[in-house]
């Protein structure tokens, strides 16, 4: 007799409450092994690939790609004893195949006369035998007839959106034509959200089933046509959107990193009283140092940029003024002073803004700091940042210089007391040693939480950063 084990959505790290199903690496009927890649999920922080927890055969996938699933909700079932003999009326079957067969057989049968009452959302499937467990679970439409393996399961109300596998025509039973469009309810929901007419979609699934991929491809084609009219070219940031007004505008659902970033920034902006101080610095000596390090054989395996020097300068300033490295505990009404520095580096990624941090950055010499910065930014841009790297930061840097921006007033990451904005480095006329000369100049801005950082402290920290940037040898004195 088969032994069924259920896999529940785990907490991918740092107390997350939900995640999106991105890509299933397996399908019903597949034989799997422990630690084999099972599913790729997207949390509010990063993409994570979950390993398979069992040896056996995949029985059912309880969540569709694109679904948002809460931690603790069942997402897959496995037969961990596939050699066991199962009763004929309770044999596990592949989800898509059974559902498709049931609807294809039903659509081939003579259509019943329409009932005067409102039709159920899905066509009734052949009723299972009385001894079948599914027979004892009433269907949502009240008919009591459900497909084998698709009965209502305990706790199903906790999952969102609905993930039942029944198929139905494009309308109710009274609206079905001789050749109904076959699609599962989650696929229909997606089509409604994306503004896709299912009757115009070419199905690729078994028995003429319209799949999620079919709808997404149709939506992308619609977006491409709309954008060609509007902008003359595709825009990657609109690929996941849909139109409700014939292409005059595109709506993109807010989810995952963008959603988390928006929530965090609103919370930070309206919780911590922000103050920003500015400083213009002559960084000519920093540029000379960067050039020398690039030519140094010991630094040939890492990328050396001015960001590396400003990161080291900030770490030295924190060492001189450790009270800047703190957080405000609102519940306990306490200031928490950190005796370590987890240095965050803001990175723009295809999924939105991420701020991964370098753990214990204050302990790293310059070469190791350069290596960590390079690895951190590379992982972020490849959507491979581990969740642990996105939590626990104590102070951050946002580098707006590569975009040609002089400076800004950055918003604090929740749980941090300060963030440094590093602007573009430009050649400008500057008074140096009593003469006007062309020098490399940049602007620095430090935003801080005025609840625990006074203006004097913030100004001293920023002045120290500027001093090291103007004269990197000062770091030898403070280091």
Nearest CA to 287 out of 301, 312, 302, 304 is that of 304
Reply yes or no on whether 432 is catalytic. Answer: no
pLDDT value for 247? 67
Summarised one tens digit per residue, pLDDT across range 142-194 is: 333 333 333 333 343 333 343 333 343 333 333 333 346 788 877 887 888 77
Which residues share a beta bridge with 87? Answer: none
DSSP state of 181: P
pLDDT value for 237? 54
Determine the distance from the C-alpha atom of residue 65 to the mean position of all C-alpha atoms in its chain, rounded to a whole number.
14
pLDDT value for 459? 97
Question: Looking at residues 89-118, what average pLDDT do you find?
Answer: 42
Instruction: Give the start-end residues of each E strand in 54-204.
Output: 56-61, 68-70, 74-79, 182-183
Is 261:351 a contact under the CB 8 Å cutoff?
Answer: no
Split at pLDDT 50, 70, 90, the class of 444 is very high
pLDDT value for 14? 55
Split at pLDDT 50, 70, 90, the class of 384 is confident
CB atoms within 10 A of CB 177: 12
Q: Average model confidence (pLDDT) for the chain?
A: 77
State which CATH number among 3.40.470.10, 4.10.320.10, 3.30.565.10, 1.20.1730.10 fits the domain covering 181-253: 4.10.320.10
210 versus 261: the higher-pLDDT residue is: 210
pLDDT value for 113? 45
Mean pLDDT is highest, among 143-147, 228-232, 279-283, 450-454, for 279-283
For residue 94, pLDDT over 50 is answered with: no
pLDDT value for 248? 67
Mean pLDDT is highest, among 96-105, 195-204, 450-459, for 450-459
Is 226:245 a contact under the CB 8 Å cutoff?
Answer: no
Helices (H), 321-432: 366-381
Question: Looking at residues 18-30, what average pLDDT do you find?
Answer: 89
Rg (CA), the chain: 29
Among 8, 321, 367, 450, the active-site one is 450
pLDDT value for 188? 82
365 versus 241: the higher-pLDDT residue is: 365
Quickly list DSSP for 339-364.
SS--EEE-EEETTEEE--EETTGGG-
For residue 339, pLDDT over 90 is answered with: yes
Least confident stretch, 256-270, 305-319, 400-414, 465-479: 256-270
Task: Break the chain into its structural domains and give their ranges.
Answer: 4-162, 181-253, 258-478
CATH of domain 4-162: 2.40.50.100
pLDDT value for 406? 94
For residue 308, pLDDT over 90 is answered with: yes
Q: Is the dihedral of CA 133, 137, 138, 141 positive or negative?
A: negative
Least confident stretch, 28-32, 174-178, 265-269, 343-347: 174-178
Mean pLDDT is highest, among 67-81, 306-320, 368-382, 401-415, for 306-320
pLDDT value for 479? 74
Summarised one tens digit per residue, pLDDT across range 345-369 is: 998 876 778 899 999 999 999 999 9
pLDDT above 90 covers a percentage of the chain that reads 43
Least confident stretch, 33-37, 169-173, 309-313, 447-451: 169-173
pLDDT value for 254? 67
Question: Looking at residues 214-241, what average pLDDT do you find?
Answer: 61
pLDDT value for 39? 93
| Model confidence, pTM | 0.56
Which class does domain 258-478 fall in? alpha beta
For residue 77, pLDDT over 90 is answered with: yes
For residue 462, pLDDT over 70 is answered with: yes
Mean pLDDT is highest, among 197-201, 248-252, 277-281, for 277-281
Phi, psi of 64 (to 5 degrees): -90, 155
Phi, psi of 147 (to 5 degrees): -75, 155
């Amino acid at each position: 007799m088969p032994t069924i084990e259920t896999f529940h959505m785990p907490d991918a790290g740092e107390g997350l409450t939900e995640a999106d199903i991105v890509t299933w690496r397996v399908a019903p009927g597949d034989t799997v092994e422990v630690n084999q890649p099972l599913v790729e999920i997207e949390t509010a922080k990063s993409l994570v690939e979950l390993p398979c927890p069992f040896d056996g055969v995949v029985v059912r996938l309880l969540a569709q790609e694109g679904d948002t699933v809460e931690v603790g909700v069942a997402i897959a079932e496995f037969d961990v004893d596939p050699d066991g003999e199962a009763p004929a009326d309770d044999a596990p079957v592949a989800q898509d195949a059974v559902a498709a067969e049931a609807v294809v057989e039903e659509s081939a049968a003579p259509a019943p006369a329409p009932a005067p009452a409102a039709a159920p959302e899905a066509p009734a499937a052949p009723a299972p035998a009385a001894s079948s467990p599914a027979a004892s679970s009433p269907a949502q439409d009240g008919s009591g007839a459900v497909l084998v393996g698709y009965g209502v399961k305990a706790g199903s109300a906790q999952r969102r959106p609905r993930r039942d596998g029944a198929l139905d025509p494009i309308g109710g039973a009274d609206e079905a034509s001789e050749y109904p469009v076959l699609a599962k309810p989650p696929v229909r929901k997606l089509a409604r959200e994306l503004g896709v007419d299912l009757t115009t979609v070419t199905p690729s699934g078994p028995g003429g089933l319209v799949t999620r991929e079919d709808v997404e491809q149709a939506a992308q084609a619609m977006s491409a046509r709309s954008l060609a009219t509007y902008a003359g070219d595709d825009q990657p940031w609109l690929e996941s959107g849909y139109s409700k007004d014939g292409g005059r505008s595109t709506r993109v659902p807010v989810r995952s990193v963008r959603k988390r970033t928006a929530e965090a920034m609103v919370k930070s902006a309206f919780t911590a009283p922000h103050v920003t101080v500015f400083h213009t610095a002559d960084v000519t000596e920093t540029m000379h140092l960067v050039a020398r390090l690039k030519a140094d054989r010991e630094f040939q395996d890492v990328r050396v940029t001015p960001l590396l020097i400003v990161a080291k300068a900030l770490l030295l300033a924190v060492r001189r003024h450790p009270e800047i490295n703190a957080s405000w505990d609102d519940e306990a009404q306490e200031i928490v002073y950190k005796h370590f520095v987890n240095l965050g580096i803001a990175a723009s990624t295809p999924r939105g803004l991420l701020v991964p941090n370098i753990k214990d950055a204050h302990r790293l010499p310059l070469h190791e700091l350069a290596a960590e910065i390079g690895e951190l930014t590379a992982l972020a841009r490849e959507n491979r940042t581990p969740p642990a790297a996105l939590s626990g930061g104590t102070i951050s840097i946002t580098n707006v210089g590569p975009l040609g921006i002089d400076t800004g007033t950055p918003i604090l990451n929740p749980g941090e007391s300060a963030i440094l904005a590093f602007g573009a480095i430009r050649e400008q006329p500057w008074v140096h040693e009593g003469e006007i000369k062309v020098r490399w100049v940049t602007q620095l801005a430090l935003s801080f939480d005025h609840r625990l950082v006074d203006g004097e402290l913030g100004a001293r920290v920023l002045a120290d950063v500027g001093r090291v940037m103007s004269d990197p040898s000062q770091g030898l004195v403070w280091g």
